[in-house]
């Protein structure tokens, strides 16, 4: 459990570090704000929810979606951003400034810091350093990626109109996938959820998450053959092989082991969905993209912005 406050129905000023902080009730509160946020975005409605607020985006790791959607979300609801991409090259970090000092400096300029960092636990570390503004974890090493998981959960809820009694199949390289960790923790809150983890044996489920799920008495299975579960899957959540976290020889051995293609679609239920937090690197073929079950390039991305708008409004907004 991260050393941070539970949300407990009140998001105001809270660090958002881990899904351990969230209860079912908190998720209900968050999701209740999302339709309003979607309207603001889609109807270009002027919003002053974050008027006068400045949010720092401090990204030590590359990002397209998390960076882009947070930046969009803040502006959609009237806030402003200071955007520091690659501080290792474009900030005083290059001169030897410590992580501690960097957090203190950007804390002085802002109302919140959104942090992505390659080190697991870095968001918690930043939260311990920053005394006056909340830290929002935008992905810490192989730890967690709470806002991606919240957005993915919202997409599941929107599609199935429920969050219980679903079979979720996680496919691919799981050991280094922070989104899998976060989404599995979130899904564990709901009754009747079954999770199947399909991966090469060298990069299976993170042992901490396995223990967490077992403790919560979630029905899980770990296997290597997608065919054993694909026909029963409601949600197929696909992962990229995280090349940056492993030696080249292991990468070559496991890259391309699983490919979702038209043949996979034939085996899937008509009312199932295929998700991927992206980027994809060949694990879902482009021929799948136009299938209505493929949500990764459509609703999943858009919901990322709306859910982040809702979260920022609750943590920082004048509500």
Interacting residues with ligand CP (CB under 6 A): 63-67, 139, 145, 148, 277-279
The residue written with tokens 């991927």 in the block is 276
Instruction: Report the C-alpha gap between 259 and 249 in whole angstroms.
Output: 20
Q: Which member of 95, 131, 161, 217 is catalytic?
A: 95
The CA distances from residue 150 to 95, 161, 229, in Å, are 36, 15, 25
The residues with which 219 forms a beta bridge, in sequence order, are: 194
Q: Which member of 53, 66, 167, 264 is catalytic?
A: 66
- Minimum CB separation of residue 294 from ligand CP in Å reads 16
Q: Which member of 36, 65, 259, 302 is catalytic?
A: 65
Instruction: Report the C-alpha gap between 221 and 242 in whole angstroms.
Output: 22
Q: Which member of 14, 125, 145, 242 is catalytic?
A: 145
Whether 72 is catalytic? no
In angstroms, how far is CA 217 from the centroid of its own chain?
23
Per-residue buried b or exposed e for 248-265, using 16+ beta carbons within 10 Å of the residue's own CB:
eebbeebbebbebeeebb
Whether 253 is catalytic? no
**Is the peptide bond preceding residue 279 cis, with omega within 30 degrees of 0?**
yes
Q: Nearer Cβ to ligand CP, position 184 or 229?
A: 184
Q: Nearer Cβ to ligand CP, position 66 or 122?
A: 66
- Minimum CB separation of residue 225 from ligand CP in Å reads 26
Q: Nearer Cβ to ligand CP, position 87 or 139?
A: 139
Instruction: Report the C-alpha gap between 27 and 48 in whole angstroms.
Output: 23
- Minimum CB separation of residue 61 from ligand CP in Å reads 7
- Minimum CB separation of residue 21 from ligand CP in Å reads 19
Q: Which member of 14, 53, 81, 116 is catalytic?
A: 116
Whether 65 is catalytic? yes
Q: Nearer Cβ to ligand CP, position 49 or 310?
A: 310
- Minimum CB separation of residue 97 from ligand CP in Å reads 24
- Minimum CB separation of residue 138 from ligand CP in Å reads 7
The residue written with tokens 């951003």 in the block is 81
Whether 66 is catalytic? yes
Q: Nearer Cβ to ligand CP, position 63 or 80?
A: 63
Whether 116 is catalytic? yes
| DSSP string for residues in 186-241 | HHTTSTT-EEEEE--GGG---HHHHHHHHHTT-EEEEES-GGGTGGG-SEEEE---
The residues with which 135 forms a beta bridge, in sequence order, are: 113
Cβ contacts of 172 within 8 Å, gap of 6 or more? 198, 199, 238, 239, 240, 241, 258, 283
Q: Nearer Cβ to ligand CP, position 65 or 216?
A: 65
Indicate which residues carry an active-site annotation.
65-66, 95, 116, 145
């Amino acid at each position: 459990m991260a050393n941070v406050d539970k949300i407990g129905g009140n998001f105001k000023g809270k660090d958002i570090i881990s899904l351990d902080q969230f209860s079912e009730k908190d998720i209900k509160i968050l999701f209740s704000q999302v339709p309003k946020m979607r309207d603001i975005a889609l109807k270009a409605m002027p919003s002053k929810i974050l008027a006068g607020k400045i949010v720092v985006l401090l990204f030590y790791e590359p990002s397209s979606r998390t960076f882009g959607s947070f930046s969009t979300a803040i502006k959609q609801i009237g806030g402003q951003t200071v955007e520091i991409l690659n501080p290792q090259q474009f900030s005083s970090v290059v001169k030897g400034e410590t992580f501690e000092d960097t957090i203190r400096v950007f804390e002085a300029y802002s109302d919140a810091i959104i942090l992505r960092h390659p080190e697991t636990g870095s968001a918690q570390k930043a939260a311990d350093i920053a005394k006056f503004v909340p830290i929002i974890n935008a992905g810490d090493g192989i730890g967690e990626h709470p806002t991606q998981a919240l957005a993915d959960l919202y997409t599941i809820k929107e599609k199935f109109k429920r969050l219980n009694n679903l079979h979720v199949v996680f496919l691919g390289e799981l050991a280094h996938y922070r989104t899998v960790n976060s989404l599995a923790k979130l899904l564990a809150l709901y009754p009747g959820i079954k999770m199947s983890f399909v991966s090469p044996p060298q990069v299976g489920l993170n042992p901490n998450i396995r223990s967490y799920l077992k403790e919560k008495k979630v029905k899980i299975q770990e296997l290597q053959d997608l065919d054993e579960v694909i026909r029963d899957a409601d949600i197929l959540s696909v992962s990229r092989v995280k090349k940056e976290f492993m030696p080249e020889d292991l990468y070559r051995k496991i890259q391309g082991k699983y490919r979702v293609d038209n043949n996979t679609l034939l085996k899937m239920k008509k009312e199932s969905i295929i998700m991927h937090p992206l980027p994809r690197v060949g694990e879902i073929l482009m021929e799948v993209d136009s299938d209505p079950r493929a949500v990764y390039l459509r609703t999943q991305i858009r919901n990322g912005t709306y859910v982040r708008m809702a979260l920022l409004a609750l943590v920082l907004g004048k509500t």
